[in-house]
Amino acid sequence: MVDVLEAVTLALPYRPPLNFHHLLRFYRARAVAGVEHVDEASYTRTLSLPHGPAIATVRDGDGSVSLELRHAHADDVPVAVARVRKMLGLDVDSSVIDGALGVHPALAAAVRADPGIRLPGSVDPHETVFRAIVGQQITVKSATSMLAGMAAAMPALGFEGPVNRLFPSAAVMAGDGQRAFRGPESRRRSLRLVAEALERDPALIDPGAGEDAVYAALLAFPGIGPWTASYATMRILGSPDVLLPNDSAVRAGAKALGIGEQLDAIADLVRPWRTFLTLHLWNAAA
């Protein structure tokens, strides 16, 4: 048996509707050069798996997402599949969520324009936290540029194509990894402290710990505020009911939909699906 597979393609089923274009838009805006690549129809990224690095490419198919894995150890295929399903939010029933959001006329119009939105989940909790810290109080474009600089300091994997590096791990970030961050010293310190804590206890922000535990663990670190803790928790756990009320894009999106003054009331109305309200508001702002 060949342990490392040159390539394997799998079909990942989902319950429609699936707004794959929304996922591509989200990941395209945040793609870290060397780690991720997005074209018109697919998203490709490196994965750090138990037996070594691999490359995953996803495309939408007819009732399923096509996942191509390259360079993956055979024993890592189930792990990769689980991570990609979470990354794309494939285990959510979008029809139920769209129906719940559609109770308000302004939201109903947004849902009709963008049905089947899924929460872009976390392929790696540690990576998600580091990216959230870097992205605090700056634009997505600026954060992506800084993250690309950090990824560029990682060794090349020797793979062909546009993705050839892993995102810095907690061990790397606890060492010299955070020094490649070209931002405020206070934020570099936050990266180092979080990385050191995750190196000591990798399960500190494990999805199995629960939403309150992960949020509290993140908020305990200096330099991590409620927005960062909420955003990271939302994506790490795939939490369906997180609203980021002080997020500037959320407020801008609410204003664009004409519900700025009603946002809090509408958010209560659509519980427990406020995460998806947040996603629609981000879309409206964009």
Is residue 273 classed as helix, strand or coil in its secondary structure? coil
- The CATH number of 4-90 is 3.30.310.20
**Average pLDDT value for residue range 253-270:** 94
**CATH number among 1.10.340.30, 3.40.50.10310, 1.10.3720.10, 3.40.1740.10, domain 125-237:** 1.10.340.30
**Average pLDDT value for residue range 261-271:** 94
- pLDDT tens digit sequence for 19-71: 999 999 999 999 999 999 999 999 999 999 999 999 999 999 988 999 999 99
Q: Tell me what pLDDT residue 286 has.
A: 86
Nearest C-alpha neighbor of 10 from the set 81, 91, 60, 82: 81
Eight-state DSSP code of residue 121: -
Furthest CA-CA distance within the chain: 62
Q: For strand 36-38 and strand 52-60, is the pairing parallel, antiparallel, or unpaired?
A: unpaired
- pLDDT tens digit sequence for 187-220: 999 999 999 999 999 989 988 888 999 999 999 9
Q: Tell me what pLDDT residue 122 has.
A: 95
Q: Tell me what pLDDT residue 183 has.
A: 85
Question: Out of 3-7, 96-100, 227-231, 281-285, which region has the weakest mean confidence (pLDDT)?
Answer: 3-7
Q: Please, which residues have CB within 8 angstroms of residue 10's CB and are 6 or more apart in sequence?
A: 66, 67, 69, 77, 81
| Count of beta carbons in the 10 Å neighbourhood of residue 154 | 19
Q: Tell me what pLDDT residue 276 has.
A: 97
Is residue 140 classed as helix, strand or coil in its secondary structure? helix
Residue 155 dihedral angles phi and psi, to the nearest 5°: -65, 145
Q: Tell me what pLDDT residue 2 has.
A: 60
Whether CATH 2.60.120.260 fits 93-121+240-286: no
Checking if the pLDDT of 1 tops 70, the result is no
Checking if the pLDDT of 181 tops 60, the result is yes
Question: Out of 78-82, 118-122, 182-186, which region has the weakest mean confidence (pLDDT)?
Answer: 182-186
Query: What does the DSSP assignment read for 137-188?
Result: TS-HHHHHHHHHHHHHTSPP---SSSB--PPP-HHHHHTTGGGG--S-HHHH
Checking if the pLDDT of 284 tops 80, the result is yes
Domain boundaries, the chain: 4-90, 93-121+240-286, 125-237
Chain-centroid distance, C-alpha 63: 23
